[in-house]
């Protein structure tokens, strides 16, 4: 086998590896896109209906306490409860976003494995070349 054939074979192998990794990245991108779309639809529905429920509940409490002298305390209490709940949910969302896996995790892992294999091959060929020089 000539040097030109060896280089060509190595080039084809590297391109095949790159193509496989690119296909994996495309599949993961599609999965992330679909996941994000589902989450956004569910989030929109949850926010819409939660807001409507909260509005009706607030009106109910306000009307319930309106004829009494405690109406301002009732409205202030609702404000405090809503503020605490809003902050709590906001912090939970931030924690969830920061602790989730990052996109293309599998692609990055496969590329790391490829680099490790290439490094091992390079090291073994250096070792073989070093043994050949000593004999």
Report the 10 Å Cβ neighbour count for 61. 15
Residue 49: pLDDT band (50, 70, 90) is very high
pLDDT at 14: 83
pLDDT at 69: 94
Domain boundaries, position 53: 3-134
43-70 average pLDDT score:
92
Half-sphere exposure of 79 (CA within 13 A, CB side): 6
CA gap 111, 25 in Å, rounded = 11
Query: Tens of pLDDT along 60-101?
Result: 999 999 999 999 999 999 999 999 999 999 999 888 888 867
CA gap 58, 83 in Å, rounded = 13
User: Can you tell me whether residue 64 is helix, strand or coil?
Assistant: helix
pTM of the predicted protein model: 0.49
Percent of the chain with pLDDT over 90: 36
Q: Which two tokens stand for residue 109?
A: 């892992």
Query: How many domains, the chain?
Result: 1
């Amino acid at each position: 086998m000539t040097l030109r054939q060896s280089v060509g074979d190595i080039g084809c192998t590297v391109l095949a590896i790159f193509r496989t990794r690119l296909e994996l990245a495309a599949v993961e991108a599609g999965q992330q896109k679909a996941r994000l779309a589902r989450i956004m639809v569910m989030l929109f529905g949850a926010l819409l209906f939660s807001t409507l429920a909260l509005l009706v509940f607030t009106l109910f409490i306000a009307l319930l306490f309106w004829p009494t002298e405690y109406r301002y305390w009732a409205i202030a209490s609702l404000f405090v409860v809503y503020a605490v709940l809003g902050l709590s949910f906001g912090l939970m969302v931030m924690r969830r976003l920061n602790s989730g896996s990052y996109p293309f995790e599998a692609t990055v892992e496969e590329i790391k494995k490829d680099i490790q294999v290439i490094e091992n091959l390079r090291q073994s060929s250096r070792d073989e070349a070093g043994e050949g020089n000593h004999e």
